[in-house]
Amino acid sequence: MKLNELTIAKAFEGLRNKQFSSVEITTSCLEQIKRVDQSVKAFLTVDEDGALAAAKSADEKLSKGELNSSLAGIPVAIKDIFCTAGVRSTAASKILETYIPPHDATAVKLLKDAGAVMVGKTNMDEFAMGGSTENSGFFPTHNPWDLTRVPGGSSGGSAAAMAAGMCLYALGTDTGGSIRQPASFCGTCGLKVTYGRVSRSGVMAMTSSLDTIGPFAQTVEDLALIMEVIAGTDPEDATTPNVPVDVYSKEITKDIKGLKIGLPKEYFVEGMDDGVRQTVIATAKQFEALGAEIIDISLPHTDAALAAYYIICPSEVSSNMARYDGIRYGHTSGAASDLLERYLKTRAEGFGAEVKRRIVIGTYALSAGYYDAYYKKAMQVRTLVKQDFDQAFESVDIILTPVAPTPAYKLGANIEDPLSMYLADIFTIPASLAGICGLAIPAGFVDNLPVGVQLLGKRFDEKTILRAGHQYQQVTDFHLQKPVV
Partner 1 sequence: MHLSTQQIEHIARLARLEVSDTEKQTYSEQLSAILDYVDQLQKIDTTGVEPTSQVTGLVNNNREDIVAESAVAQDLLATAPATRDGFITIPKVFDHK
The residues of the shown chain that bind partner 1, judged by CB under 8 A, are: 99-103, 194-196, 209, 235, 238-239, 241, 301, 303-304, 307-308, 310-311, 318, 322, 325-330, 332, 336-340, 342-345, 347-348, 351, 353, 356-357, 359-361, 363-364, 367, 373-374, 376-384, 386, 418-419, 422, 433-435, 459
Among positive and negative, which fits the CA dihedral 285, 291, 293, 299? negative
The nearest distance, CB 91 to partner 1, in angstroms, is: 14
Cα distances (angstroms) measured from residue 308 to each of 211, 371, 430: 15, 13, 9
Nearer to partner 1, 367 or 474 (CB): 367
Question: Is residue 476 within 8 Å of 189, Cβ to Cβ?
Answer: no
Residue of 154, 184, 199, 432 marked catalytic: 154
Helix or strand or coil: residue 256? Answer: coil
Say how far apart CA 160 and CA 158 lie, in whole Å. Answer: 6
DSSP single-letter state for residue 96: G
**Residue 178 designated active-site:** yes
Residue of 41, 79, 386, 458 marked catalytic: 79
Nearer to partner 1, 241 or 412 (CB): 241
**Residue 315 designated active-site:** no
| Helix, strand, coil percentages in the chain from 3-state DSSP, rounded to 5 | 45, 15, 40
Residue 410: other Cβ atoms inside 10 A:
12
Among positive and negative, which fits the CA dihedral 285, 286, 288, 289? positive
Separation of CA 332 from chain center: 30
Nearer to partner 1, 348 or 480 (CB): 348
Task: Please provide residue 293's backbone torsions phi and psi, each rounded to the nearest 5 degrees.
Answer: -110, 125
Say how far apart CA 443 and CA 216 lie, in whole Å. Answer: 16
* Backbone Cα Rg of the chain: 21
The nearest distance, CB 157 to partner 1, in angstroms, is: 23
Residue of 22, 69, 70, 178 marked catalytic: 178
Question: Is residue 402 within 8 Å of 185, Cβ to Cβ?
Answer: no
Say how far apart CA 219 and CA 225 lie, in whole Å. Answer: 10
Nearer to partner 1, 239 or 476 (CB): 239
Is the backbone of residue 12 left (phi > 0), alpha (psi -120 to 50) or beta?
Answer: alpha
Residue (of 193, 15, 10, 208) closest to 107 by Cα position: 193
Say how far apart CA 25 and CA 309 lie, in whole Å. Answer: 41
Nearer to partner 1, 165 or 196 (CB): 196
The nearest distance, CB 360 to partner 1, in angstroms, is: 5
Cα distances (angstroms) measured from residue 133 to each of 122, 412, 469: 10, 11, 26
**Residue 79 designated active-site:** yes
Nearer to partner 1, 381 or 403 (CB): 381
Enumerate the active-site residues. 79, 154, 178
